[in-house]
Structure 1
Amino acid sequence: MNELNQKLNQYFAGKIVRKDLTKLIKGNAIVPTYVLEYLLGQYCATDDEDTIVSGVQTVRDIIARHFVHRDEAQYIKSLIRERGSHRIIDKVAVRLNDKRDLYEAQFINLGLNRVPIADEVIRQHKKLLSSGVWCIVTMAYIANTDDASATPWVIENLKPIQMANADLDNYKEARSAFTKDEWVDVLMQSLGLNPDEFSFRSKLIQLARLIPFAENNYNLIELGPKGTGKSHIYSEMSPHGILISGGEVSKAKLFVNNSTGDIGLVGYWDVVSYDEFAGRDKRTDKGLVDILKNYMANKSFSRGTDVYGAAASMVFVGNTDHSVPYMLKHSNLFEALPRDYYDPAFLDRIHAYLPGWEVNKLRNEMFTADYGFNVDYLAEILKELRKEDFTHAYKSFFDLSNSITTRDKDGIGKTFSGLMKVIYPNGDCTEVEAKELIEFAIECRKRVKEQLVKIDETFETVDFSYKLRSSGQAITIETLETLQQPINAGENSNSANSLVVLQDTSIVSDVPLEAGQFVIRDNQIGVSFDVLFGQYLRGATEIILCDPFIRHPHQFRNLLEFVTTVVRYKEADTELTFYLVTNNTSDYIEDSRKSLTELAESVLASSINFQFEFNAALHDRSITLNNGWKIVLGRGLDIYQKTNGRYDIAEFIPEKRLCRACEITYLKIM
């Protein structure tokens, strides 16, 4: 095991599971991940390989023998009748039959209805009264020959599939043994994802999906392309959340049934998520939208003469119809919503808008085979954290701009609080760590407000900035998609808040270059070596590139693209010397030498004398030019994230690639 897996087994023994096991045993069983990992947690929460092998077989046997597939319902009923009793795993929903004055259970897959269930079970597990809970149930069959109308089905024992409790204090104490990066990777692995495939910003987007489980009355929306796992977490990862189709909910189902007085979903679940929420032509209930607006703003709703309160967070996930540049130019980022939800008063109640378009479609290598928390354990921890409040914790480090409205501050504070609970549950973080969270929280709320300004002229533009209390420095936050909108080629690109996408690399060099910095953010697109270096290469006849990491295929691709940029910007009738200083290991050095020699031969015809050396002491990353400029490279040439494969156009168009966060510094040395 790697070091992180070892630490997890050391500090969270019995509460973790190897994530590839879930996929291994799921097969065709239509059962949530938390159900499978509940069982795996009973039999496979160890690092002992023999115990894991035995446990996996046990769980497989349990699923095979006791999980009820709908097409096998009649066989299971027969089995219960022949044996007298049998244990099953099924989703159970309960209703009160007021005519008979008793509670009756419905078994979703088994197809049984009106099975009497004891009042005591309902008092212990009230969530059964909602749309259903996965349970392990011992069912009996007792024929009653005296009363033909009586049901022969008897519930002998029922246990919802969720942990009885989770010790939050122990969880917080163990968290202190992990660094921030280690803990973020633990959480990513707990979601079944391979952290090596994600930038830090991409990890934050994934973890932000957990905020509704940790934060009361949190309103979140995520719109983006298909296949990015937007709704998966709300249906699979917690027994405290429910995923419903946006077109299948009514006022009675969501809030309260006026006829029966039954409380709806918001009274039983921590998270109510609308799936496939987008769709301009979807039919919706305007009355439901009005109640929802009041609930999202005031944590209460009224039906009839009574007013009810609830703590359920609301999540809206859906697909966009157009690309982000198209929406920003021709409409807005909410354009795909149903007409009744395309309402400024409703949209203003959303605390955060996650940029779903930044999330790559899930590929096989993006899933992990390492250890992570049993998701049922994590779900119970997040539920416990709902009792705590970090909404104002940012104020010890930062002051928000006075122009930010109360509703904006509420959204920012709740997002910050949720991320604190997820990443720093003990409340212990540095200013630098808190800065990452507050900037993400501000951006998520600004994304909402910017679109409201476009939709409704009564909304005013807000200065989404904050000040560091430690230094008084003011920092303005921009949404990443706004920064990436192309501006006129040839304008200076050194500002941290601007990006130039060069449409024509033959631009004359009459624009004065300036010393300064270019800050690249995680997931930023539109960045190429032309944009970063092109104009600074003009007039240089000697280039020294220091980059210690030129050994893997993607690093050689970056080097080749940089050399190609040099070829385009050099004068055709001049000769240029290119020195590469790099580092290497014994595993790669011979192959690297051959590849670099081949590159040197290929550029001879372009009047470039390419030379290279391996320097084991090299750590710095820079480009030194004999035209008076030196460029300090925060990450060397390795600024791009992995693409989606050979047939991704980002393989051929650098501006389409997602970047890694880094800084490029331009220094005038002559």
Structure 2
Amino acid sequence: MKSEICEKIRTYFSQMSIYKDPEKTNSIFVGRNLPAFVKDFLLKRFMNVQTGNIDTIGLTEFLDNVIPANPGSVKDKIVSGQEVTLLARFIVYIDLVKGVKQFAIPDFGIKLSDGIIPEFTYKKHQGELVDGEKWGIVKLCLMEDNDGKKKHVNMVEYKPFKPYSSVDVSYLAEARRHFTTQEWIDVLLSAMEYDPDGFINITQKLEFISRLLIFAEPRLNVIELAPKGTGKSYVFGNLSKYGWLVSGGKVTRAKLFYDKTRQQNGIIKNHDFTVFDEIQTIEFQEPAEIQAALKSYLESGKTTIDNNEFSSECGLMLMGNIPLTEDRRPASLLYFNSLPKNFRESALLDRFHCFIEGWLLPRVDTSMIFKGWTINVEYFSEILHTMRTNNSYNLLFDQLVEFVGKADMRDSKAIKRIATGYMKLLFPHWQSVEDVNREEFEMYCLNPAVHRRGIIKEQCHNIDPEFKVGMPEIEIR
């Protein structure tokens, strides 16, 4: 990426900028498998904002204190009666029947049956310590139960991992005005930790950025089929604490939506997006029940599980591999044959909005990892999360676009959601109709939205000829 763009980032995102040096970073964090948003938070704390130099001694000492490289040492300290402070990923489970708030820290061997969140900690963070996965700084100690017969690990203090308590979309919008569209595309790629110069053309860049659509647009349902090694898992597992990556194993309706036995919501409830990675390796138990629940949820964001209505704004994504020819094109025109049999139903697949052609992307190698000044991942993910509830772009779309005639409702919804997502990513500075460049809107937002929805329709038609492939007629006002 050109040095001029890096300097622009330092100028207009001064407090949010960070210098990335992959070789040095890998050496500092060796033995600690941390997502990018945590690494950037730590680097910012120990980085000279003028030079980009890192206080490696200070950072290493901090890591040894709150993220020990030896997980077993944490349990040893707790058992010996010491208080331990950790920056960690933990899982909360609230047992409504017993009235107990439990937690587990899998990376340090603390099981759900070991950890208790006391009432004073829970009340202090009302609404934050809800069911699901969290990141935060926790202080732990060993406590005896009231009867003195058993001990448990107590979470005596908790600080949410949220370096940016709030982010200002208008600040982002104003900063965006200082970049050309081509420059901004490179900024987004560098924020994702990839070097824009590693992509051959604008097509590859836009295909890669399309993975961010589900970060910014609520209830957008996406399918991506791609060869191995194109960075799918990294993007969705490292760039945001608001997403959940399901990689292999068994998946049940209870795990996804609602567990009646535990009276606990599933992973879809408390996340911005849920991604099924390597979907061919995932075993869906009770596939008929899951399929029925998915159909309802994908359509309306709601479904009924054992007389309990479940609703969420979480987007769903299916990611799988697809066999390619020597020239890196799909070996078969029937793309959905690469999905598990339980998903090869046109009525289910038609409820997905967007298709990403992962075979257009390059295979990721070390030369594609970004080095230089860019926007730090924690700020980047937080701004995308905040944009999900910003409806100004939806309203702007309605002012710009008119569906002519009787447009299929699923098509019009899909096109609107995809195009709105692109506006949030590429043109956050479009605040009114007067701001909009019609040519860029058509090129970067509307046409890609029609194309990506069109692939879904075409592939549904291949499964069931009754599905029409025609797309709505659209006019830009």
| Distance (whole Å) between structure 2 residues aligned to residue 99 and residue 172 of structure 1 | 47
- Counterpart of 1:155 in structure 2 is 155
Distance 1:43 1:77, change over 3 A: same
Please say if 1:133 is aligned against 2:113: no
Structure 1 residue 146, shift from structure 2 partner: 7.9
| Distance (whole Å) between structure 2 residues aligned to residue 97 and residue 110 of structure 1 | 22
| Distance (whole Å) between structure 1 residues aligned to residue 254 and residue 205 of structure 2 | 37
Distance 1:45 1:167, change over 3 A: farther
| Distance (whole Å) between structure 1 residues aligned to residue 120 and residue 382 of structure 2 | 23
| Distance (whole Å) between structure 2 residues aligned to residue 395 and residue 344 of structure 1 | 29
Counterparts of 1:488-567 in structure 2, within 5 Å, are none
- Counterpart of 1:415 in structure 2 is 418
Instruction: Answer whether contact 1:214 1:421 (CA < 8 A) is retained.
Output: yes
Structure 1 residue 468, shift from structure 2 partner: 5.1
| Distance (whole Å) between structure 1 residues aligned to residue 106 and residue 273 of structure 2 | 21
Structure 1 residue 139, shift from structure 2 partner: 2.1
Counterparts of 1:4-403 in structure 2, within 5 Å, are 4-21=5-22, 22-44=25-47, 46-49=49-52, 52-54=53-55, 56-69=56-69, 72-81=70-79, 84-98=82-96, 100-113=98-111, 114-119=114-119, 121-122=121-122, 124=125, 126=127, 128-141=129-142, 147-151=148-152, 153-163=153-163, 164-198=165-199, 199-245=201-247, 247-278=249-280, 285-323=287-325, 324-328=329-333, 332-389=334-391, 390-391=393-394, 393-394=396-397, 396-400=399-403, 402=405
Structure 1 residue 103, shift from structure 2 partner: 0.9
Instruction: Answer whether contact 1:224 1:357 (CA < 8 A) is retained.
Output: yes
| Distance (whole Å) between structure 1 residues aligned to residue 128 and residue 255 of structure 2 | 14
Instruction: Answer whether contact 1:16 1:45 (CA < 8 A) is retained.
Output: no
| Distance (whole Å) between structure 1 residues aligned to residue 78 and residue 405 of structure 2 | 67
Q: Which digits, 9 at most, give the CA deviation of each residue in 1:333-387, with x for residues without a partner? A: 1111111111101110111000010111102221210222221111111111111
Instruction: Answer whether contact 1:9 1:46 (CA < 8 A) is retained.
Output: no
Q: Specify which structure has the bigger relative contact order, considering alpha-carbon pairs within 8 angstroms and separated by 6 or more residues.
A: 2
Please say if 1:432 is aligned against 2:439: yes
- Runs of 4+ with >6 A deviation: 143-146, 280-284
Structure 2 counterpart SS, 1:39: helix
Gaps of 5+ in 1: 470-670
Instruction: Answer whether contact 1:104 1:115 (CA < 8 A) is retained.
Output: yes
Structure 1 residue 162, shift from structure 2 partner: 2.7
Letter in 2 for 1:217: R
| Distance (whole Å) between structure 2 residues aligned to residue 241 and residue 448 of structure 1 | 24
Distance 1:6 1:120, change over 3 A: farther
Distance 1:217 1:127, change over 3 A: farther
Q: Which moved more, 1:241-250 or 1:309-318?
A: 241-250
Q: Which digits, 9 at most, give the CA deviation of each residue in 1:34-86, with x for residues without a partner? A: 1111212323272324xx221x44333322332145xx333222234557223
Number of aligned residues: 460
Letter in 1 for 2:183: E
Distance 1:253 1:279, change over 3 A: closer
Distance 1:455 1:170, change over 3 A: same
Structure 1 residue 126, shift from structure 2 partner: 5.0
Instruction: Answer whether contact 1:218 1:414 (CA < 8 A) is retained.
Output: yes
- Counterpart of 1:607 in structure 2 is none
Distance 1:144 1:166, change over 3 A: same
Letter in 2 for 1:452: C
Letter in 1 for 2:215: F
Structure 1 counterpart SS, 2:280: coil
Distance 1:311 1:325, change over 3 A: closer
Structure 1 or 2, whichever has the larger Rg, is 1
Q: Which digits, 9 at most, give the CA deviation of each residue in 1:97-135, with x for residues without a partner? A: 456522122121222233221346446375654442232
Structure 1 residue 451, shift from structure 2 partner: 1.0
Q: Which digits, 9 at most, give the CA deviation of each residue in 1:203-239, with x for residues without a partner? A: 2122211111111111011011001011222111001
| Distance (whole Å) between structure 2 residues aligned to residue 414 and residue 322 of structure 1 | 29
Instruction: Answer whether contact 2:253 2:290 (CA < 8 A) is retained.
Output: yes
Structure 1 residue 289, shift from structure 2 partner: 1.4
Structure 1 residue 161, shift from structure 2 partner: 2.2
Instruction: Answer whether contact 1:94 1:128 (CA < 8 A) is retained.
Output: yes
Structure 1 residue 251, shift from structure 2 partner: 1.0
| Distance (whole Å) between structure 2 residues aligned to residue 23 and residue 416 of structure 1 | 37
Structure 1 residue 243, shift from structure 2 partner: 0.4
Letter in 2 for 1:416: A
| Distance (whole Å) between structure 1 residues aligned to residue 284 and residue 340 of structure 2 | 6
| Distance (whole Å) between structure 1 residues aligned to residue 210 and residue 298 of structure 2 | 19
Q: Which moved more, 1:170-179 or 1:16-25?
A: 16-25
Structure 1 residue 96, shift from structure 2 partner: 2.5
| Distance (whole Å) between structure 2 residues aligned to residue 411 and residue 447 of structure 1 | 12
Structure 2 counterpart SS, 1:243: strand
Structure 2 counterpart SS, 1:327: coil
| Distance (whole Å) between structure 2 residues aligned to residue 209 and residue 384 of structure 1 | 17
| Distance (whole Å) between structure 2 residues aligned to residue 398 and residue 166 of structure 1 | 29
Q: Could you say what the CA RMSD is over the residues aligned between the two structures, in angstroms? A: 2.6
Please say if 1:450 is aligned against 2:450: no
Structure 2 counterpart SS, 1:315: strand
| Distance (whole Å) between structure 1 residues aligned to residue 307 and residue 283 of structure 2 | 33
Instruction: Answer whether contact 1:127 1:268 (CA < 8 A) is retained.
Output: no
Using structure 1 for the length normalisation, give the TM-score: 0.64
| Distance (whole Å) between structure 2 residues aligned to residue 295 and residue 236 of structure 1 | 26
Instruction: Answer whether contact 2:408 2:472 (CA < 8 A) is retained.
Output: no
Gaps of 5+ in 2: none
Distance 1:380 1:66, change over 3 A: same
